[in-house]
Amino acid sequence: MIQITFTINGFTDALHLADDHGLSDVEIEAMKQARYDKWDDFVKNPPAVVDEPVEE
Amino acid sequence: MASRFWVTGGTGNWNDTSNWSATSGGASGASVPGSADTAAFDASSGAGTAMLDISPTIQTLTCTGFTGTLAFGTNTISLNSTGTIFTGATTMTVTGTPLIICTNSSATSRTITPGAVTEANSISFRITAGTGSLALTAGSFRDIDFTDGTNPTGFAGTVTNTAITIYGNFKASTGMTRTAGASAYTFAATSGTKTINTAGVTFDNPFTFNGVGGTWQLQAALTSGATRTCTLTNGTLDLASYTLTTGIFSSTNSNVRTLAFGTGKIVVTGTNGTSWTTATSTGLTMTGTRTVELTGNGLAGETRAINSGSTSAGGSAANAANFYIKAGVDTISLGTISRAIGTVDFTGFSGSTLVNTTPVIYGDLVLSTGMTVTAGTGVWTFAATTSQTITTNGKTLDFPVTFDGIGGTWTMQDALTLGSTRTLTLTNGTLRLKNGTTSTVGSFATSGTNPKFLTSTTFGSQATISATTGTFVVNYLTVQDSIATGGATWDALAITNVDAGNNTGWLFSTTPSIGNEITMRLRSFTQPRRF
C-alpha cells in the first residue's frame, strides 16, 4: 500500500493505494479533490438524522 | 453441504478426520470440513485445543458453547457463505494470530456474531468482498479490515448500525458504506498502537476510545455526523496529521488520557448543545496543534457550549485547546465558571457570546466584526505566560478584564475598549496597547506586588489609555510610551511604580526614571590597572 497524505483547504486526509495502482497524477489529484468535496459537502450540508434501528 | 462437528476431547489438528463428526458429540471419522461444509464447535467438543494446521475454507463457523481453544497459529479460516457466517463464544479461548476471512462476493446479507469476548480472545475479521449488508452484531472484534488485504477496495456493501467493540486496527474499504445511527464503535485496546483508516468513508455514528494503555492513531481523516459524539475516556487518541470531524467531542473525567493533535485538528459540527467538553480535565494531556474548529451553523436562539477544562478540575494552559468558531449566528458559551481555553478566534462567527461567561484565555483572542460581545459581570481573564495577541475589531468588551500571567505579554492589534463601568486589572505581565490608538476603560487597576508593565506596541510611539472619571492608584507598574487621559487621574505616585519614559498624563513621584539611572560597573580586579 502507498499512503498519500494531502491537505486541501485545511482538511487533511490520506489516500491508500495499491503498490501497482497504475493511476496517473491527474487521477490521483482528482481523488484527493473528491475526498475533500465529499467531506466539505457533508460538513456544510449535514444529512437529516434518520437513525436506522439498532440491530441486536 | 455437510455439517461437521469437532469432537476430539483433547488436542487435535483441524486437518484430521479423527477430530470431526457428522453430528454433535457423534462418532469421529467424518471428513474434514471443506469449502462446501459448515464447521461447528460446541459443548460436546470438549475443552481441548483445535489446532489449525491448515488454513481451511468453509462456509460458516459456529462456536456456541465451546469451552476449548481454537489455536490459529499463523493460519486463517475463510468463510465463503452468507447468512450468519460466524458465531463466537465467550467460553472459548483463541491463540495465535486469529484471523477469519469472509470471502463471499454476492449481494446476500451476512452476519458476524463474535460475542462479547475479551481482548485476549478476540478474533480479527477481514471482509474481502461482497455488496450486501453486513451485520456486525454487538460484540468484540480484534482487527476489522474491509479490504481484500492488498488493495484499498474489498467489501462494497453496507455495514448496519450496531454497537461493537474493537480491540485492534480498523480499516475501511473505499467502496463500503456504514448505515448512520447512534450505535457506537468503541475502541478498547489496552496496549500498543492501533490504527484507524476510514478510507474516505463517512461513519455517521459515535466513536468512543476507552482502553487504559491503548493508543489509536488515525491513518486518514475520520468523519462522523453532526449529532454524533466522539468520546475519549482512556488512552491516547493520536490524530497524527489528520482531520477528525465529529458533532460533539467529549473527554470529561479524571482518567489518564492524551489527545495528541499532531499537526491535525478536530472539526466540531454540532449545533445547539455542548459542542466540546473537557470540563473535568484532570489527567488530560494535549499535545500538538490543539486546533478545534467549530463549523456548525448555529441558529439564532440556539447555544453552543465550549466546556473546556474548569480551572478547579484540572483545566490549565497545558491542556487548553484552541477554538476557532467559524460559523453560526447563535450564542457561544465559554462557560460561566473559570474554564481554561487556549486561543479563541471568532472569525466567521456572527452570533453573540453568552452573558457572564468567564473564560481564562491562555492564547490569542480574535473577535469578529459581525459578532456581538454580550455585556455582563463575568470576568475575562488573560492568563498566558507567553506572548499573545488580542484583536477586538472594534468590539467593546463590556465586562471586567484581567491580565494575569507572569511573563505573559498581550499585544493589542487594535484599540482596546471596555465598557464605561468595567475595570481593566493588570495583575501580572505586560499589556502592550496599540500605538497611535486610544484604548478606553471604565477604570484601571493593578493588583498584587509582582512587577507589571503597560507599554505601547511600538517603542517610542505612544498609545493612549483613556477613562472619563475616577482616580486610579497603581502599584508595581512600569509605564512606557503611554498617554493617560480622558478626565481620570492616573496616580502612579507610589515608589513601586517606574516611569520608563515617553509618558504623558501619569503622575509619578520624583524618583529617577529609568532614563536617568546611572550605569554602574564593577572595576575589574583581574585585568592590570593602567596608571
Q: What separation in angstroms does the CA of B9 have from each of B5, B243, B371?
A: 12, 52, 74
Which residues of chain B lie closer than 8 angstroms to A45, CB-CB?
none
How far is the alpha carbon of A17 from chain B, nearest alpha carbon, in Å? Answer: 6
Q: Which of B161, B199, B200 sits opposite A55 (nearest CB)?
A: B161
Contact B162 A12 (CB under 8 A): no
A11's grid cell? 482538511
Which residues of chain A lie closer than 8 angstroms to B267, CB-CB?
43
Residue A35 falls within a domain, yes or no? yes
Contact B180 A51 (CB under 8 A): yes
pLDDT, residue A53, reads 58
Q: pLDDT digit string (tens) for B421-468?
A: 999 999 999 999 999 999 999 999 999 999 999 999 999 999 999 999
DSSP, residue by residue, B333-398: E--SS-EEES-EE-TT--SEEPTT--EEE-S-EE--TT-B----SPPEEE--SSEEEEE-TT-EE-
Residue A55 falls within a domain, yes or no? no
Distance CA B75, CA B24 (A): 25
Identify whether the C-beta of residue B100 lies closer than 8 Å to the C-beta of residue B124. yes
Residue A8 falls within a domain, yes or no? yes
Which residues of chain A lie closer than 8 angstroms to B221, CB-CB?
11-14, 35, 39
Q: What separation in angstroms does the CA of A6 have from each of A16, B201, B238, B308?
A: 11, 16, 17, 30
Go through chain B and tell me how many residues it has: 531
Q: Which of A37, A30, A39, A41 is nearest to A4 (CA)?
A: A30
> Grid coordinates 476510545 are at which residue?
B209
Distance CA A7, CA A39 (A): 12
φ/ψ of A30, rounded to 5, equals -65, -35
Contact B269 A43 (CB under 8 A): yes
Instruction: Encode chain B (531 residues) as per-residue pLDDT tens digits.
Output: 899 999 987 899 999 999 999 999 999 999 999 999 999 999 999 999 999 999 999 999 999 999 999 999 999 999 999 999 999 999 999 999 999 999 999 999 999 999 999 999 999 999 999 999 999 998 999 999 999 999 999 999 999 999 999 999 999 999 999 999 999 999 999 999 999 999 999 999 999 999 999 999 999 999 999 999 999 999 999 999 999 999 999 999 999 999 999 999 999 999 999 999 999 999 999 999 999 999 999 999 999 999 999 999 999 999 999 999 999 999 999 999 999 999 999 999 999 999 998 999 999 999 999 999 999 999 999 999 999 999 999 999 999 999 999 999 999 999 999 999 999 999 999 999 999 999 999 999 999 999 999 999 999 999 999 999 999 999 999 999 999 999 999 999 999 999 999 999 999 997 554 544 444 444 444 554 454
B425's grid cell? 486589572
Distance CA B221, CA B201 (A): 9
Q: What separation in angstroms does the CA of B90 have from each of A26, B67, B68, B176, B249?
A: 50, 9, 11, 29, 32
Query: How many contacts (CB atoms, under 8 Å) link A and B?
Result: 91
Residue type, B147: T
Total count of domains within chain A: 1
φ/ψ of B442, rounded to 5, equals -75, -45
Q: Does the CA dihedral A21-A26-A27-A31 come out positive or negative?
A: positive
Identify whether the C-beta of residue B323 lies closer than 8 Å to the C-beta of residue B306. yes
Contact B200 A13 (CB under 8 A): yes
Where chain A has pLDDT below 70, the residues are: 49-56
Contact B245 A43 (CB under 8 A): yes
Q: Which of B137, B180, B221 sits opposite A11 (nearest CB)?
A: B221
Which residues of chain A lie closer than 8 angstroms to B152, CB-CB?
1, 15-18
How far is the alpha carbon of A11 from chain B, nearest alpha carbon, in Å? Answer: 6
Please, which residues have CB within 8 angstroms of residue B230's CB and are 6 or more apart in sequence?
B206, B207, B208, B209, B224, B244, B246, B248, B249, B250, B266
pLDDT, residue B524, reads 46
Chain B residue with CA closest to A34: the answer is B200
Q: Which of B53, B63, B49 is nearest to B5 (CA)?
A: B63
How far is the alpha carbon of A37 from chain B, nearest alpha carbon, in Å? Answer: 11
pLDDT, residue B161, reads 96
B interface test, pick of A16, A39, A42, A56 with most B CB neighbours within 10 Å: A16
Residue A49 falls within a domain, yes or no? no
pLDDT, residue B531, reads 44
Burial class for B11, CB neighbours closer than 10 Å (0-12, 13-18, 19+): middle
Contact B200 A53 (CB under 8 A): no
Q: pLDDT digit string (tens) for B119-155?
A: 999 999 999 999 999 999 989 999 999 999 999 999 9
pLDDT, residue B260, reads 98
Residue A51 falls within a domain, yes or no? no
What's the half-sphere exposure (Cβ side, CA atoms, 13 Å) at A6? 18
pLDDT, residue B8, reads 82
How far is the alpha carbon of A26 from chain B, nearest alpha carbon, in Å? Answer: 19
What's the half-sphere exposure (Cβ side, CA atoms, 13 Å) at B4? 27
Which residues of chain A lie closer than 8 angstroms to B202, CB-CB?
38, 42
* Domain of residue A29, residue span: 2-44
Residue A15 falls within a domain, yes or no? yes
Contact A12 B137 (CB under 8 A): no
List the strands of the sheet with B438-440, edge to edge: B396-397, B417-418, B438-440, B463-466, B482-485
Contact B161 A54 (CB under 8 A): yes
Identify whether the C-beta of residue B467 lies closer than 8 Å to the C-beta of residue B443. yes
Contact B225 A43 (CB under 8 A): no
Distance CA B460, CA B466 (A): 19
Q: Which of B19, B519, B338, B243 is nearest to A42 (CA)?
A: B243
How far is the alpha carbon of B374 from chain A, nearest alpha carbon, in Å? Answer: 27
Residue A22 falls within a domain, yes or no? yes
Q: Which of A17, A51, A55 sits opposite B137 (nearest CB)?
A: A55
Q: Does the CA dihedral B57-B60-B66-B72 come out positive or negative?
A: positive
Distance CA B340, CA B405 (A): 13
Q: Which of B160, B220, B245 sits opposite A14 (nearest CB)?
A: B220
Residue A32 falls within a domain, yes or no? yes
Buried b (16+ CB within 10 A) or exposed e, B296-308: bbbeeebbbbbbb
Please, which residues have CB within 8 angstroms of residue B19's CB and are 6 or more apart in sequence?
B6, B7, B8, B12, B13, B28, B50
